[in-house]
Amino acid sequence: MTTATPAPTTVTLDDYKPLFSEENTWCAGCGDFGILAALQQALVQLEIAPHRVMVVSGIGCGSKLPDYIHCNGWQTLHGRSLPAAQGFRLVQHDMTVLAVTGDGDGLGEGGNHWLHAMRRNVNFTHLVENNQTYGLTKGQASPTSGAGYISSTTPDGNVEFAINPISIALAAGATFVARGFSGNVKPLRNLIAQAIEHPGYAIIDILQPCVTWNRVEYTYKWFKERVYDLADEHDPADKTEAFRRSLEWGDRIPTGVFYREERNTMDSQTTAIQMEPNRPVALRDLPVSKDQFEALKAKLT
Amino acid sequence: MTEVTYTIGGSAGQGVESSGAGLSQAHARAGYHVFAAQDYESRIRGGHNFYQLRASDKLVRAHTRHHSVLIALDDVSVPQHLGEMQPGGAVIYDAGRDDVDAGAIEDSGARPVAAPLVEIATTVGSDRVMANTVALSVASALTNFDFEAIAQVIRENFARKGEAAVEENLAVARAGYEWGAERVDGFAYRLPAPPPRNGAGPAMLIHGNQSVALGAIAAGCKAASGYPMTPWSSILEELIDARHLGIVVQQTEDEIAAISFALGASWGGVRALTGSSGGGFALMVEHLSLAGMNEVPLVIVEVQRGGPGTGLATRSEQPDLHFALSAGHGEFPMIVTALKDAVDGYYRTARCFNLAEQFQCPVILLSDLFVSNSLVSVPTNELDLDTVVGEIDRGKTLTHAEIEELAESYGRYAFSEDGISPRAIPGHAKALVHGMSDEHDEFGAITEDQDNRIAMMQKRMQKLEGASALMEPPTEYGPAEAPLSMVGWGGTWGALTEVVDRAEGRVNLIHYTDLQPFPAGGGDPLERAKKLVAVEQNYTGQLARYLRGQTGIEIENKILKYDGRQMSPDWVLEQLEEIA
């Protein structure tokens, strides 16, 4: 069995043009387009060939993304992309793995998986397409919907407190925590590139207008008036300050890297990987050593 | 007599399990056939647990309700088990106890053995905790079990505590054995010489969960995940202990994550396993459907326990057959098979990995609590690695070397004659692996096109036809001409085969293991039988109901047990009296 073929020397945007799907079903102007563009550009910027990338998604508008990019991809179940991405990554630990979730998908249905992905620190990138609503099912309130949001399930206005993905990620031990805005593709591209290169779990909370269901707040215009870049005024090694900044929401909304640290990843702590760090578990031969197997049996005699 | 049954009763925390395991190990080492079963409550301290060891010069496959020796460590043991003693069987208890009525034991026909357990432990030894060792030694003397076999286990178990600890425990054991040896007159339950090994090699003492784990390891399972739940947990723990064999094992935040993680690993190209019990398995069900839709091989072990709800966490039942057969929304191919015992569990688990990859679908392996933690002596060479490795069949899995040879563009869900598409291991430039859990086309991309939908449904469901041909018909055991045929499945194999052996031609057994897809000819033995009785460890007779659907044959007689206690051969024989 051979190991992976070497990546082509140059990777272009054409390499990531979708081949699988003839039609993109996102609404015209959907924030997902900016995220898709930023992701494609980031992968090109990092010169990662499409066959070395696996994009795992959940269910929702944004989770159709694997159909719209030419690389390996798997759309799983609503809320369940994170454990699947981790299982994949640990047996293919030299591939670039991204999980793409929505806010309802990744932070609601999959909330428990999200908390534990952060403390587990498997090396993959989590893009949260955060449009503050359930777009595909017609605009019901999501975990990040604002107070008073009116929808078919919140006719009197949303009474639940919006969760703050950045604060939670910081508290749960995520080692790379950032926020981007799908309307600012170039900075988002840079954030995605940094997240992919980060050794460990990296989350980017991506503010993404839903042009169909968010007509007043959380529109392109609304965000453009508020977002600012943290880079000039914040040291991402300062976790306390990162917490303080994470609470900022309203007239000014910070984007950029809130926090970054290097902690042992699951790669370095998984015995099977470390036995043969240069060959992913999935590319190894199946049979185990006869001596080791007999030793297991001998322990039972 | 060719066999002796020891039963050790006590409360949780009194060392019932460790004493029983030590005694079992000693008997297996000495060459006897051993079957050891636990009965325990869902608590860390207190209550009443018991451990039963059957040792024989013949194969034993089940527990019994009849004890030759009862070691009563608590005040519940005697009242609870006295009525189950074999005539003249010994009840061993500490001489210092005033709650045991020796007269009542004698009146019952058993023999009271008030032994100086604590006295020996505290005079020959220095700690009353060694009273259990004294009791085991007294019992061994009564049954003619070789002291040296006890001594060997003591040496090993106490070696890490130092030479002084070994010597102290040996002295205590010897004193107990000598005390017992003076009281063997007239005791009927004496072990014969152990049977010859005939080159079989040393015996392992192995339970069903260990054999499943070994089967997975032998088959090349490279990823496993799970969440702790009785009785499944020890499979996860055994695999974690084998991580140095190159297996990625992850304890996850819940069972939903466990199956998602394992599916992710399988999507990455490895053989993967997950599992749980009852409620934990219920949480996994949505992902069975995903595995069906995206054609991801996966082995899911369901170690059944008493339900519903939290049910009987530490007790055995077969309540999930119907649930497993139909688990998952939508229609998709899924294979369901049930293991019979520990040896079968080893080979069956390995076979599940082949089936999962051959048909690129989920495979559910049903076990149960009783098989999962009952220890049975098995010669090490009976669980053979080379046999399993020689049978490894990855179906249409494409390694990177094979992908390199691909001439055409690759689509993960390419149509084919048998419904099975080549499954590329991701990471190679010539085969991007793309699949959406929405209905998809040959390249895995979403489409709601009607013609494609029909073709894809047929492609997936067609795989069941291929799988059906590989399913094993039920095992027929016992005299073909018997007037009555028991119909059972899974982990009752041990008890039901013993019933056949003891029934002297009155009954035989039709025992199902491969359940879905239903094996070709799977109903034939039912057609041939003179009279049928379903014997199951559940309330509704789930196998009988399933067989009616598959074969049209109604099994009217049913022996059903749903008290959480595994059926013993004795109990089944009593029930059969009412049928025959």
CATH number of the domain enclosing B563: 3.40.50.920
Mutate to test the interface with A, among B153, B253, B273 (most CBs of A within 10 A): B253
Among the partner residues A59, A84, A116, nearest to B267 by beta-carbon distance: A84
Among the partner residues A54, A77, A90, nearest to B426 by beta-carbon distance: A54
Beta-carbon separation of A77 and B286 below 8 A: yes
d(CA A278, CA B38) in angstroms, rounded, equals 45
Cβ contacts of B437 on chain A, cutoff 8 Å: 59, 75-77
B46-56 β-sheet, strand order: B111-115, B85-94, B67-72, B3-12, B46-56, B33-39, B375-379, B203-206
User: In the 8-state DSSP scheme, what is residue B437?
Assistant: S
Beta-carbon separation of B432 and A92 below 8 A: no
- Tell me how crowded residue A57 is: count the other CB atoms within 10 A of its CB: 31
Cβ contacts of B205 on chain A, cutoff 8 Å: 300-301
Among the partner residues B242, B436, B443, nearest to A296 by beta-carbon distance: B242
* Residue-level length of chain A: 301
Beta-carbon separation of B267 and A293 below 8 A: no
Q: What local confidence, expressed as pLDDT, does residue B93 receive?
A: 97
B451 CB burial (10 A radius; 0-12, 13-18, 19+) = exposed
Give the pairing of strands B423-424 and A202-207: unpaired
- The ranges of chain B with pLDDT < 70 are 1, 580
To the nearest whole Å, the CA of B537 is away from the closest chain A CA by: 29
Model confidence pLDDT, tens digit, residues A6-24:
555 699 999 999 876 678 9
Number of domains in chain B: 4
Q: What local confidence, expressed as pLDDT, does residue A93 receive?
A: 98
Among the partner residues B244, B268, B434, nearest to A73 by beta-carbon distance: B434
Which chain B residue's Cα is nearest to A24?
B446
Beta-carbon separation of B269 and A92 below 8 A: yes
Residue B512: closest CA among B476, B474, B550, B542: B474
Beta-carbon separation of B432 and A95 below 8 A: no
In a domain, B324, yes or no: yes
Q: Find all residues with CB under 8 Å of A248, minimum gap 6, and list them.
A: A254
Which chain B residue's Cα is nearest to A277?
B246
Sign of CA dihedral B155, B159, B161, B167: positive
Q: What local confidence, expressed as pLDDT, does residue A1 receive?
A: 39
φ and ψ at residue B284, rounded to 5 degrees: -85, -10
Give the pairing of strands B375-379 and B335-338: unpaired
If you average pLDDT over residues A66-70, what whole number do you get? 96
Is residue B308 reached through a cis peptide bond, with omega within 30 degrees of 0 on the bond before it?
A: yes
Same-domain pairing of B52 and B157: yes
In a domain, B64, yes or no: yes
To the nearest whole Å, the CA of A50 is away from the closest chain B CA by: 8
Which chain A residue's Cα is nearest to B353?
A286
What top-level class would CATH report for the domain A13-272? alpha beta
Residue A98: closest CA among A43, A32, A166: A43
Model confidence pLDDT, tens digit, residues A135-182:
999 999 999 999 999 999 999 999 999 999 999 999 999 999 999 999
Which chain B residue's Cα is nearest to A122?
B250
Which chain B residue's Cα is nearest to A80?
B260
Domain's final residue, options B470, B485, B506: B470
B246-265 CB burial, b ≥16 within 10 A, e <16: bbbbbbbbbbbbbbbbbbbb
Which chain B residue's Cα is nearest to A68?
B445
If you average pLDDT over residues A53-78, what whole number do you get? 97
**What are B507's two structure tokens?**
């009954």
Residue B432 DSSP SS3: coil
Same-domain pairing of B373 and B412: no
If you average pLDDT over residues A202-212, what whole number do you get? 96
To the nearest whole Å, the CA of B214 is away from the closest chain A CA by: 8
To the nearest whole Å, the CA of B437 is away from the closest chain A CA by: 6
In a domain, B187, yes or no: no
Beta-carbon separation of B205 and A301 below 8 A: yes
Q: What local confidence, expressed as pLDDT, does residue B42 receive?
A: 83
Same-domain pairing of B461 and B547: no
Q: What value does the mean pLDDT of chain A take?
A: 94
Same-domain pairing of B175 and B293: no
Among the partner residues A92, A115, A300, nearest to B427 by beta-carbon distance: A92
Among the partner residues A1, A77, A92, nearest to B290 by beta-carbon distance: A77
Residue B320 DSSP SS3: coil
d(CA B13, CA B17) in angstroms, rounded, equals 9
Q: What local confidence, expressed as pLDDT, does residue B43 receive?
A: 84
Sign of CA dihedral A193, A195, A198, A199: negative
Domain's final residue, options B363, B390, B417: B390
Model confidence pLDDT, tens digit, residues A255-293:
999 999 999 999 999 999 999 999 999 999 999 999 999
Beta-carbon separation of B380 and A298 below 8 A: yes
d(CA B484, CA B507) in angstroms, rounded, equals 5
Mutate to test the interface with B, among A281, A285, A290, A292 (most CBs of B within 10 A): A281
Domain's final residue, options B344, B373, B390: B390
Among the partner residues B206, B253, B428, nearest to A300 by beta-carbon distance: B206
* Residue-level length of chain B: 580
**What are B178's two structure tokens?**
């000598």
- Spell out the domain ranges in chain A: 13-272
Cβ contacts of B345 on chain A, cutoff 8 Å: none
Same-domain pairing of B79 and B138: yes
Beta-carbon separation of B267 and A2 below 8 A: no
CATH at residue B250: 3.40.50.970
Mutate to test the interface with A, among B207, B332, B437, B452 (most CBs of A within 10 A): B437
Cβ contacts of B214 on chain A, cutoff 8 Å: 293, 296-297
In a domain, B193, yes or no: no
- The count of C-alpha atoms lying within 13 angstroms of the C-alpha of B266, restricted to the half-sphere facing its C-beta, is 32
d(CA B359, CA B369) in angstroms, rounded, equals 28
**What are A186's two structure tokens?**
């170039």
Whether ipTM exceeds 0.85: yes
Among the partner residues B245, B401, B446, nearest to A64 by beta-carbon distance: B446
Mutate to test the interface with B, among A114, A271, A290 (most CBs of B within 10 A): A271
To the nearest whole Å, the CA of A253 is away from the closest chain B CA by: 32
Beta-carbon separation of B436 and A66 below 8 A: yes
Cβ contacts of A59 on chain B, cutoff 8 Å: 437
To the nearest whole Å, the CA of B297 is away from the closest chain A CA by: 14
Say if residues B225 and B250 touch (Cβ distance below 8 Å).
yes
Which chain B residue's Cα is nearest to A76?
B437
- The count of C-alpha atoms lying within 13 angstroms of the C-alpha of A79, restricted to the half-sphere facing its C-beta, is 16
Range of the domain at B302: 207-390
Q: In terms of pTM, does the model score above 0.90? A: yes
Beta-carbon separation of A90 and B265 below 8 A: yes
Beta-carbon separation of B268 and A91 below 8 A: yes
Residue B579 DSSP SS3: helix
Same-domain pairing of B155 and B244: no
Cβ contacts of B346 on chain A, cutoff 8 Å: none
User: In the 8-state DSSP scheme, what is residue B194?
Assistant: P
**pLDDT above 60: residue A5:** no
d(CA A247, CA A260) in angstroms, rounded, equals 17
B75 CB burial (10 A radius; 0-12, 13-18, 19+) = middle
d(CA B207, CA B353) in angstroms, rounded, equals 20
Ramachandran category for residue B241: left, alpha or beta (phi over 0 → left; psi -120 to 50 → alpha)? alpha
Tokens 């039972």 -> residue: A300
Say if residues B92 and B113 touch (Cβ distance below 8 Å).
yes
Q: Find all residues with CB under 8 Å of B303, minimum gap 6, and list them.
A: B208, B209, B231, B232, B235, B275, B276, B277, B367, B368, B369, B372
Same-domain pairing of B303 and B279: yes
Which chain A residue's Cα is nearest to B262?
A87
d(CA A118, CA B545) in angstroms, rounded, equals 46
